[in-house]
Every structure is written in C-alpha cells, then in structure tokens.
Amino acid sequence: MAKILMKGNEAIAEAAIKAGGNNYFCYPITPQTEVAEYLAKRMPEVGGVFLQGESELAVANMIFGAAATGKRVFTTSSSPGISLMQEAISYMAGAELPCVIVNIMRGGPGLGGILPAQSDYFQSVKGGGHGDYRLLVLAPSTVQEAVDLMMLSFHLADKYSNPVMMIGDGMIGQMMEPVEFPDVYEEPELPEKTWAITGAKGRKPRVVRSLFLDPNKLENNSWHLYDKYELMKKNEVRFEKYKVNDKNEILIVSYGTMARICQTAIDEIEKEGVSIGLFRPISLFPFPQDDIFTEASKKNIKNVLVIEMSTGQMIEDVERAVVGKKKVTFFGRTGGIVPSPEEVIKKIKEMVSKKSKTKKKA
C-alpha cells in the first residue's frame, strides 16, 4: 500500500482495523478524540462495532464484556479517562481477557492539561488498578511505529490472554506523519480461545471471572499470572539503540516522542565532538532492564541520563537496571511542556563539563 498522511490518532484507529480489531468502545477526551471520530465513519464501512459509552468506567466494562466473546476489541482514551478504566482493566487482567487500550497521555495529576506528557508511566507499568497484575505496555515514537505496535498489540494480547496498553504522549496522537499499512496483516498462529463465551452448546458452561474466594485458588491464579509475565519478560522485550557505540560518554534513556527530541540533540552535539548514545525502550513492560545494564556497564559510559516528559518515573526502572554501577541523572519537563533539543543539549553540556572539571581535579 502507498504511503498516506495520517494523524497519529487516525493511524492508530486504522491499524486496529487492519489487525482485525474492529470492535471499539469509547468516550471523548482530548487529545485522542479523533480516534472515535475516525472510527465513527470507518466502523460502519467494515461492519465493525462502534459505541460511545456513557463514561470511561462503562466503556472499559463494555470492553470486558466484548472481549469475553473472543473477538478483538479495543478502546482509546487519555490520562483522566484511563484512570477511570482501571477497575475493568484489573478485572480483565484477573480474568485473562485480551484487549488493547491506548492512552494518549496528557499532563496530570487531576484534570491537568491537554498538552503532551509522559506522566502515566507508573500507572501503565506498575499496575494502575488493584491486585497482582501487569499489562504489556508498548510506547511508539513515530506515527508509523504507532501503527506497527497497534497491530502487534492485538497479537500480543491474544498470545498472552492479557490486556495490552499502548501509550503515547499527546504529540503521537496529534501529529501528522506519512504512514504505510500492510495490505494484509500477517501474524504467527495463536492459541485457540478455549475460554471464549459462545453459549454452552455441546459443552459445559464457561465462566469468565476474576473471583476466587478460596485463597489457595486465588494464590494459584496470581502465580499463574506471574509465570505469564515472566514469559513476557523472556520473549517480548523491545528497544532501539541510536548511535550507541564505544565512544559514547553518556547513555540517554528516553522513550516515545521524547526520544526523537533526544535524537535531534544527539545529532547536534555530535557536531561539537561530544558522543552520546540513545537507548529507547519500546516495551515499557517488560522493561529492557538487562540490555540497559549491559550498555550502561560499558567502560566508556560515565553517566546515564534519563529524559522524560514527567518529573521522573521511568528513571526508577533505569536505576533498578543499572544497580548503582553508574550515576543516573534525570532531566524532564512536564505539565504539557515538551523539552526542546536545545534544553537537552544544555543538560548534556552541563554534565560533560562537570566531568571534565572532576577529571582536572583528579
């Protein structure tokens, strides 16, 4: 298929359809409402289901009911709406229902603002709802990657029978970029959905639930989920390295569109002879912790710099990965302020000059 120009939100919507996710429930919220507007036009064309619910609370539960059919379902929202969805997300994780949830993040806490942020990292990666569960979390940095990861999300949701969350800051949803869709979405074979609710015809009734009153059974379920998450850690770690080499003085760790700003900064400062590498996690859970450790441990790396559009959330996972081997520094802007490449360069220069001063003293 030829390249077309799409807004992130539309591209995410179209990618879902391409991946067979043509069952969508939604509630409007800036900056992701275009997904709903796009699908309101597209779903009737492809014979899919489109429904605007009365709240994100209801929408997430509609997703729960819809996912129980065994068909591919998804919803999209932005930070405050995602907070309201946490109830059903926890239930779906407990009941092992596959679904895809997209969070086009805006600044918080509370009603916050409508401009881009990455301040829902903890919520996405560390649970969000109650109980011992994890979501598989993916973070694209371009509209094309949002398309690719959206399609992959449906596959991974089915593969692990688990909700998958794709998070992007408001920029990912709002910006226009050229994208290409595959004519046919090809994916590896998936296990049969032997749990799907289809009516007890010629078989025993099935129940989709997260209730286990017997603590032994609940514990078993939790350890079963744990094993699944361990399997994700083994198989689904995704990341990208940019200009990572043995001349790097600093390793930047950054994700999403923030990583693109870091790339521009790295290119600029390279002209001044400063070599910086970028490690961009694509899967936030499972987190590429071993690979960050490997890169950060290298002799030439003096310092690890984590850059986020938050006051510092992913940094905790980076620190855990680096296990004190190297100093981990943070730079971030939040509340809808997107750091400029110049600000990133300034931060790098500060760190580099500090180091040379220390060297002189030594």
- Per CB under 8 A, residues contacting other proteins are 3-7, 10, 14, 23, 25, 30-31, 34, 37, 41, 49, 51, 53-55, 57-59, 61-69, 71, 73, 87-88, 91, 95, 113-115, 170-171, 174-178, 197-202, 205-211, 257, 260-261, 263-264, 336, 338-341
Q: Residue 17 or residue 352: which is nearer to other proteins going by CB?
A: 17
243 is written with which tokens? 């200009």
Q: From the CB of 294, what's the least distance to other proteins, in Å?
A: 27
Residue 324, phi-psi category: left (phi > 0), alpha (psi -120 to 50), beta (remainder): left
- Our CB check for other proteins shows the closer of 127 and 286 to be 127
Closest contact distance (angstroms) between CB of 224 and other proteins is 17
Partner residues linked to 303 by β-bridges: 250, 327
Cβ nearer to other proteins, comparing 263 with 328: 263
For the chain, the first-to-last Cα distance in angstroms comes to: 60
- Specify the residue, 23 or 124, whose C-beta has the smaller distance to other proteins: 23
Instruction: Report the amino acid identity of residue 266.
Output: I
Q: How far is the CB of 175 from other proteins (least distance, A)?
A: 6
Q: d(Cα 275, Cα 271) in Å, to the nearest integer?
A: 9
Closest CB to other proteins among residues 54, 192:
54
Q: Phi and psi dihedrals of 329, rounded to 5?
A: -110, 155
| Minimum distance, C-beta of residue 288 to other proteins, in the bound complex (Å) | 22
Q: How far is the CB of 290 from other proteins (least distance, A)?
A: 29
Distance of CA 46 to the CA centre of its chain: 27
Q: 242 pairs with which residues across the strands? A: 278
Asked whether 349 and 271 are in contact (CB, 8 A), the reply is no
CB of 300 to other proteins, least distance (A): 26
Q: For tokens 């989920």, what's the residue?
A: 225
- Cβ atoms 121, 287 nearer than 8 A: no
Which one, 286 or 332, has the nearer CB to other proteins?
332
Distance between CA 125 and CA 242 in Å, rounded?
24
